[in-house]
Amino acid sequence: MSEPLKVPTMAEFMAQGKQPEVLFWVGCAGSFDDRAKKITKAFVKLLNNARVEFAVLGTEESCTGDPAKRAGNEFLFQMQAMANIKVLNSYKIKKIVTACPHCFNTFKNEYPVLGGNYEVMHHTQFLKSLLSEGRLKVEGGKYKGKRITFHDPCYLGRANNEYEAPRFLLRKLEVELIEMKRCKSKGLCCGAGGAQMFKEPEPGDKDINIERTEEALETKPSIIAAACPFCNTMMTDGVKAKEKETDIKVMDIAEMIANADDL
Amino acid sequence: MQFIPNILFIIALISGIGYFISNSRKLIRNIKLGYKTDNSDHKKERWKNVVRIALGQSKMVVRPVSGILHIIVYAGFLIINIEVMEIVIDGILGTHRIFSGAGILYDYLIASFEILAILVLIGVIIFWIRRNIQKIKRFWNPEMKGWPKKDANFILYFEMFLMIFFLIMNATDHQLQQIGSTHYNEAGMFPISQFITPLIDNFSETTLIIIERSAWWLHILGIIVFLNYLYFSKHLHILLAFPNVYYGKINPMGKFEILESVTKEVKLMMDPSAIPVEGEEAPAKFGASDVLDLSRIQLLNAYTCTECGRCTDVCPANQTGKKLSPRKIMMDTRDRLEEIGKNIDKNGIFIPDNKQLLDDYITREELWACTTCHACVEACPVSIDPLSIIMDMRQYLVMEQSAAPNELNIAMTNIENNGAPWPFNQMDRLNWKNEN
């Protein structure tokens, strides 16, 4: 680690009477899951590097309610949503960026009806805009020419029609992007959505993440790029189950960008 | 005596259309058993979808082979209907090929019907081969056993025979024109049925007239019977696809309905000073355990489904051997709705029959296998949303019965107590900042 990460909180901004450019919503996985925390830090490095004035909610952040809603618990979802909206609105948040497509979808699509209206961006969209504005520079670096496949998260892709931002970033990294047979709107789920992440799968012939990992391995990638902490876990487990973890890494695109230039 | 065919025709036509209307009324009554939703928004976008997805078949061609074959059969079906108009008018008035006054235009019309008819015939035969010889997997899922499989083949046989009768009718007509039979004035161009002529060119005039009349009658009676078969089959999509696409989901797929009834209760819970509105009753039920708890659009979805199985074919749960099949969700919803419809036919009102969609048709195991990935919604060529029914039923299980799988209950308790699905303290949420 070169420089320590700068991670100001909303409360600190408030104390100085300032408003950040954007709120970085870390999410439960990004805050607590050991693998996802690395993605969080990589993204913060990029934000620091691009001199983005961002803040996090820190201990004031709570689950968006996505898993509760997909599990069918509308009560718990709306309780979480309303509590979060109260906090967000009290800080007069206008713009939110998050590295979790599930948080992204919930804010973007399901909070407005309950009184939470924000401009919401997935971190790949935000990074794309930083690049387009010239605030962040990405050049091939160590991933140039590497065979890489990208796994579309359902809640970024099909659910919100964003297939381009992650691919834009991969092109900037000058990788050799090899698409899987089922990609973009036809992409196969990693198996974690709909609250499946928190339960054992129903009986079947195979786990979904194994099916998806096998498809990813067919492209003979050196890296499976992901854009969701849950997909990342599922694909990492899949690669381990196939005993390929020494050859193939599962990485978030934010991590790849942060690593490309050894930021 | 000479009016007997006309009278018989009019009786067949009126009873055929009459029966169709009475069944259509039942269908509309059944759909109206669902609750009403406001779909007056996005009119322009909805019409665009009808043009693009329903008329333009844009989602069919995602799978090119079946997509293009389907477009051929669909175009044939639409265009050959002009010929049906002529047959109906001839049947009522006792005329023969009444449109033939259109001269050369008529020749080209008949020629194009013939070309379409042979293309439809070929298309339908390929469909039959795909289903029965090639045994494409999605046609052989467990829910396709028995009636659904027979139903699908019946429809293909119907279409084959309709086209064969049409071509035989034209071939004999053409031959009768050639031998100068009265009533059979020279009209039409027969690029396809001319190949049948060698088989019949030594037939007597009487035999030819008998064959021509039989084919004419079988073709039109076949169409009337087929129209009425629709209600009893999976084939209603030829009519319902259009309204179904119009009412299909407009919002981003990730946007799920927010239950207003829950919003009211949560607001009361979170704001101690709020006073419940006098006289307002608490909602009877959260989520859906039977088809009567679903919306009219969801019920229309169920009648529209033609069991093509594209949804099931892309479902990650189904692909990995789980019991969930989005197509089965739609078929079960329709079958249960039909059962309730018959109950109403018999009793005047719905008399509870101790059955419901949940457990009697759709098992909990199916519902909990869904990853909400929206692949089924994306795949449906006619904008059916099986996921919305799965979600409504999960809501019933969780909010009315507290019957979520135990691990999910633990995750939800964690969310409630410490704001994350895992048992971490909310106060530790920023600890990652200082970890290496």
CA pair distance A194, A200, nearest whole angstrom: 12
Question: A198–B421: do the CB atoms touch at under 8 Å?
Answer: yes
Among residues A106, A131, A156, the one where a domain terminates is A131
Q: Are A55 and A93 in a shared domain?
A: yes
Closest residue by Cα to residue B188 from B98, B271, B275: B98
Residue A112 makes CB contacts below 8 A (sequence gap 6+) with none
pLDDT at A1 exceeding the cut of 60: no
Q: What is the DSSP letter of B134?
A: S
What's the mean pLDDT in B312-325? Answer: 98
| 3-class secondary-structure state, position A95 | strand
User: In terms of CA atoms, which chain B residue is nearest residue A83?
Assistant: B270
Residue A4 within any structural domain of the chain: no
Residue A1 within any structural domain of the chain: no
pLDDT tens sequence across B102-123: 889 999 999 999 999 999 999 9
What's the mean pLDDT in B213-233? Answer: 95
Q: Are A123 and A148 in a shared domain?
A: no
pLDDT tens sequence across A211-221: 999 999 999 99
Residue A5 within any structural domain of the chain: no
A134 or B270, higher pLDDT: A134
Residue A3 within any structural domain of the chain: no
Q: What is the DSSP letter of A111?
A: S
Question: A109–B259: do the CB atoms touch at under 8 Å?
Answer: no
Which chain A residues touch B255 with a CB distance below 8 Å?
105, 109-110
| φ/ψ (deg, to 5) at A119 | -80, 120
Residue A161 within any structural domain of the chain: yes
Residue A107 within any structural domain of the chain: yes
B274-283: long-range contacts, CB 8 A cutoff, minimum separation 24: none
Number of folded domains that form chain A: 2
pLDDT tens sequence across B226-238: 999 999 999 999 9
pLDDT in the model for residue B201:
87
pLDDT at B217 exceeding the cut of 90: yes
Residue A79 within any structural domain of the chain: yes
Q: Are A123 and A160 in a shared domain?
A: no
Q: Are A206 and A221 in a shared domain?
A: yes
Helices and strands in chain B, H and E counts: 18, 0
CA pair distance A161, B249, nearest whole angstrom: 14
Which chain A residues touch B256 with a CB distance below 8 Å?
69-70, 109-110
Question: A211–B374: do the CB atoms touch at under 8 Å?
Answer: no
Residue A2 within any structural domain of the chain: no
Segment 137-156 of chain A within 8 Å of chain B by CB: 154-155
Q: Are A28 and A124 in a shared domain?
A: yes
Among residues A99, A131, A163, the one where a domain terminates is A131
CATH of the domain at A113: 3.40.50
pLDDT tens sequence across A172-221: 999 999 999 999 999 999 999 999 999 999 999 999 999 999 999 999 99
What's the mean pLDDT in B49-65? Answer: 95
Q: Are A118 and A229 in a shared domain?
A: no
B125 or B5, higher pLDDT: B125
Among residues A131, A162, A188, the one where a domain terminates is A131
pLDDT tens sequence across A70-92: 999 999 999 999 999 999 999 99
Element (H, E) at B83: helix B64-93
A69 touches chain B (CB under 8 A): yes
Print the domain residue range for A50. Answer: 10-131
Q: Are A155 and A113 in a shared domain?
A: no
Tokens of A61: 């952040």
Segment 194-233 of chain A within 8 Å of chain B by CB: 194-208, 210-212
CATH of the domain at A216: 3.40.50.2300
Assigned fold of B260-426: Fumarate Reductase Iron-sulfur Protein; Chain B, domain 2 (1.10.1060)
Ranges of H-type helices in B348-397: 357-360, 364-368, 375-379, 386-395
pLDDT at B2 exceeding the cut of 80: no
CA pair distance A111, B157, nearest whole angstrom: 51
pLDDT at B280 exceeding the cut of 70: no
A174-183, A236-245, B71-80: least confidently modelled range: B71-80
